[in-house]
Amino acid sequence: MKKLTLEYSYLKNHVRNDEMEQMLCFAKNAAQTLQEESGAGNDFLGWQNLPQNYDKKEFERIKQVAKKINSHSEYLITIGIGGSYLGAKAVIEALKNPFAKSKTTVIFAGNSISGVYLAQLVEFIKEKEFSINVISKSGTTTEPAIAFRILREVLESRYGKEEAKNRIFVTTDAKRGALKKLADEEGYETFVIADNIGGRYSVLTAVGLLPIAVEGFDIDRLMQGAFDCMEEIKNTTGTENICQSYAAIRNILYNKGKNIELLVSYEPNLQSFSEWYKQLFGESEGKDGKGIFPASVIFSTDLHSMGQYIQDGRRMLFETVLRIEKPGVDIEIPYMEDDIDGINYISGKTVDLINQKALEATAMAHVKGNVPNLLINLPELNEYYIGYLMYFFEKACAISGYLLVVNPFNQPGVEEYKKNMFHLLGKEGY
Ligand code: PA5
């Protein structure tokens, strides 16, 4: 099986060998601290061995429930915010043909407070066959609570309270929270988010797995990819270790004033994957006045909007380019006798080949413009490799957070706006 690799050729002028060696020593120590579970936030490390130590019974139940949902629902409304939806959305959109119909299409809700979105969704869904998967670890988050209340009412008035029990699935804490209480009272089927797994590290739990399985993707392959990444990392050090190396490079560049990382993809279906990456790194590292600001672009699309800034604007960026080596499908550019558009010189070539050339040309131009580029080569985009890639980013993020000397597993800043909002809305106690 081919592996994920890092390519350093576009970093030469920015990362010296001695700097890399030194930072790799720190990264090795950080990785050890993680493995020994002796660092900050060590009560949130359940994701580390998850590809091996997951609840096998629940995993099988997820597959059965996905089949059940497929048998009676055209749509599954997945309600959740932050870590409770970004992973599933990332995987589904990365792997799905956007023009093909699934047995059951997953629609996301409860990730904003838009009345417009909810009103339009209710209008759309009320005559359709649908189910709901509400996901909230705390069970008290306002956005999903509002969406669930509204959509549950629609579902119950369409199917009745009894049938609603066959169509509402709750993913939440094993014991605590308003959602758990409601699920127990109403008799909804539940899935568990373990205490020691934070939202942004939860894609390989029922949080991500149920919606992904409902869309028809192979969650065994997803877990296998994550497992193989976990094993590979355990058995390597130095530049051989992709997580330690990536974390080291990010921190070397950060220490040189490159404090914005752009995750660059050349496939539009990776847009939501970038959102998942941004949450993972932003929420893990952005604290105590520190942290690399994670941003993202899709090329070549954004070369026609952000390209100018990246090439020529303030020099505080570095790019992490996600290259998919082999496309799932491809298409050839046809030859045309008249050649009015002047592109016969590339006829007979595939569109992906042109995309790869765009990647090389852009990396060369940006490096010349003093934007360091690190390439992540992913052999293919399928369940196996996306599982691999997600585990890679999770582990690298944790190591990188320790290198920054922050706790990568808490998110105290997320609470601030909530308190103000509750105060403004007149909630008791605020
Ligand atoms: O990563 C996190 O911890 C957060 O983004 C949460 O996932 C998000 O705030 C939603 O929380 P909950 O699942 O408790 O509703």
pLDDT digit string (tens) for 186-204? 999 999 999 999 999 999 9
pLDDT, tens digit (0-9, with 9 covering 90-100), for 311-347: 999 999 999 999 999 999 999 999 999 999 999 999 9
Q: Is the CB of 137 under 6 A from ligand 1?
A: yes
**To test ligand 1's pocket by mutation, which of 81, 108, 207, 281 has the most ligand atoms within 8 angstroms of CB?**
81
pLDDT band at 96 (very low <50, low <70, confident <90, very high): very high
pLDDT of the residue at 261: 98
Q: Is the CB of 205 under 6 A from ligand 1?
A: no
pLDDT of the residue at 13: 86
pLDDT, tens digit (0-9, with 9 covering 90-100), for 45-82: 999 999 999 999 999 999 999 999 999 999 999 999 99
Q: Which residue in 215, 261, 283, 394 is the catalytic one? A: 283
pLDDT of the residue at 323: 98
What are the C-alpha distances in Å from 298 to residues 31, 90, 154, 310, 411? 31, 14, 37, 13, 27
Q: Which residue in 28, 68, 103, 418 is the catalytic one? A: 418
Q: Relative to the CA of 138, which ligand 1 atom is closest?
A: 14
Residue 414 has pLDDT above 90, yes or no: no
pLDDT of the residue at 235: 84
pLDDT of the residue at 286: 97
Distance 198 CA to ligand 1 centre (A): 7
pTM over 0.95: yes
Q: Is the CB of 84 under 6 A from ligand 1?
A: yes
pLDDT of the residue at 12: 84
Q: Which residue in 101, 185, 304, 415 is the catalytic one? A: 304
Residue 140 has pLDDT above 90, yes or no: no
pLDDT of the residue at 234: 92
3-state secondary structure labels for all residues of the chain: CCCCEEECHHHCCCCCHHHHHHHHHHHHHHHHHHHHCCCCCHHHCCCCCCCCCCCHHHHHHHHHHHHHHHHHCCEEEEECCHHHCHHHHHHHHHHCCCCCCCCCEEEEECCCCCHHHHHHHHHHHCCCCEEEEEEECCCCCHHHHHHHHHHHHHHHHHHHHHHHCCCEEEEECCCCCHHHHHHHHHCCEEEECCCCCCHHHCCCCHHHHHHHHHCCCCHHHHHHHHHHHHHHHHCCCHHHCHHHHHHHHHHHHHHCCCCEEEEEECCHHHHHHHHHHHHHHHHHHCECCECCEEEEEECCHHHHCCHHHHHHCCCCEEEEEEEEEECCCCCECCCCCCCCCCCHHHCCCEHHHHHHHHHHHHHHHHHHCCCCEEEEEEEECCHHHHHHHHHHHHHHHHHHHHHCCCCCCCCHHHHHHHHHHHHHHCCCCC
Give the residue, by CA position, lying nearest to ligand 1 atom 2.
199
Q: Is the CB of 138 under 6 A from ligand 1?
A: yes
> In the predicted model, what is the mean pLDDT of residues 275-298?
97
Residue 428 has pLDDT above 90, yes or no: no
pLDDT of the residue at 418: 83
pLDDT of the residue at 388: 98
> In the predicted model, what is the mean pLDDT of residues 268-296?
97
pLDDT of the residue at 319: 98
Known catalytic residue at 283: yes
Q: Is the CB of 41 under 6 A from ligand 1?
A: no
pLDDT of the residue at 162: 95
Residue 429 has pLDDT above 90, yes or no: no
Residue 378 has pLDDT above 90, yes or no: yes
pLDDT of the residue at 415: 81
CA 14/CA 23 separation, integer angstroms: 14
Q: Is the CB of 83 under 6 A from ligand 1?
A: yes
Please report, rounded to a whole number, the percentage of residues in the chain having pLDDT higher than 70.
100
Distance 137 CA to ligand 1 centre (A): 7
Name residue 394's amino acid.
E
